Amino acid sequence: MTDLKFRPRFKFRTPMHPDEIRDRLRGHVRDSNPIGFRLKGNLPHMILMYPLDQQHLWTPQMDIDLEMDQEPEGDLHHRCVA
């Protein structure tokens, strides 16, 4: 049986702390956001969404999970689901 995955998934490692990533995301959504995306939630789970007036049943959103799982290289592990 095939493993169906309907939403693209992204994983990345970074030396940045989740608080710093959250603050950067909030800053970009607040300061340079001509489309008007909304960022909801707080650590460890946030959701990046289209503005309410542009949302439909099929409108995508991005779930962002910032985890403190320590990698052997000293980086932190983070996941995004679009």
User: What's the pTM?
Assistant: 0.76
Using one digit for the tens of pLDDT, what is the confidence trace for 34-50? 999 999 998 889 999 99
Please report the sign of the dihedral spanned by the C-alpha atoms of residue 69, residue 70, residue 72, residue 77.
Answer: positive
Q: Give pLDDT, residue 71.
A: 59
Instruction: Name the stretches of the chain with pLDDT < 70.
Output: 1-5, 68-77, 82
- Nearest in space to 63 (alpha carbons), one of 3, 16, 5, 9: 9
- Nearest in space to 63 (alpha carbons), one of 4, 8, 21: 8
Q: Give pLDDT, residue 12.
A: 80
